[in-house]
Amino acid sequence: MAVVPQGTLATKVNVPVWNVLVDAINANTALTAIALLSDGSVELTADWDAGPWKITAETLESDVATSTPPLVIASTTVVANLNVDQVDGFDIDQALLIASSPAFVTLTLSGALIATVDNIADGDLTPSVSGGVNFKTANSTAKTITNFDDGVNGQIINIIAGDDDTTIASNANIKHNAGSGRVMGEYDVAKFIHNGTLWVGAGYEQNSA
């Protein structure tokens, strides 16, 4: 049986398996090589896996240098009460209103807001406007657009005529002041706002000859 000198274990934290500790004592191995000191002065020499157990402390501090992630997370579950300074490297200092989905109460832009111009395919009578603002027609023969698909409440779109062959209908999907439909000339621009049910005309700029 191993004989443990009095006071030797008083300031040590036992390793999980007592037999390992006894063997080390029998082999005259320094206890500091196999035990964690309660004052934290002995560092780990390899990765430490606590298994399914929870480690609780008041503060978690990482001293790893920049370019190495201080945390590696496998779960995608939301962490309640997590307060962070940046989101994906950016400071978020806008006022936010959280309801069923995040919505900006106020939004301040420090630079120009630029929206690309997406092309509507030749002959597409119900083009998708999902996620877009500016759209340009490219019809080679006379065509009438009867709806703008995938619109959402509050969305504003600008339709730029890239030809002289496009008419925008006035029907159950699109309402504007051209009762029989708006015949567009090249370079004309029609503006619409989605009211949650249909598209409502918000302006027309005639730039064609």
Does residue 56 sit within a domain? no
How many structural domains does the chain have? 1
pLDDT in tens, 134-162: 999 999 999 999 999 999 999 999 999 99
Does residue 184 sit within a domain? yes
CA angle (189, 193, 199) in 5-degree steps: 95
Does residue 100 sit within a domain? no
Token digits of residue 40 = 């934290």
Domain range for 170 = 117-205
DSSP character at residue 171: S
Does residue 47 sit within a domain? no
Phi, psi (5° rounding) for residue 144?
-120, 120
Q: Which residues contact 21 (CB under 8 A, 6 or more apart)?
A: 14, 15, 31, 34, 35
Token digits of residue 57 = 């402390």
* Interval 170-199 mean pLDDT: 94
CB contact at 8 A, 194 and 153: yes
CA 63 to each of CA 17, 37, 60, 67: distance values in angstroms, whole numbers, following the listed order:
30, 20, 10, 12
pLDDT in tens, 82-98: 888 777 777 766 666 55
CATH of the domain at 192: 2.60.120
Residue 30 has pLDDT above 70, yes or no: no
Token digits of residue 130 = 């999902």
Does residue 194 sit within a domain? yes
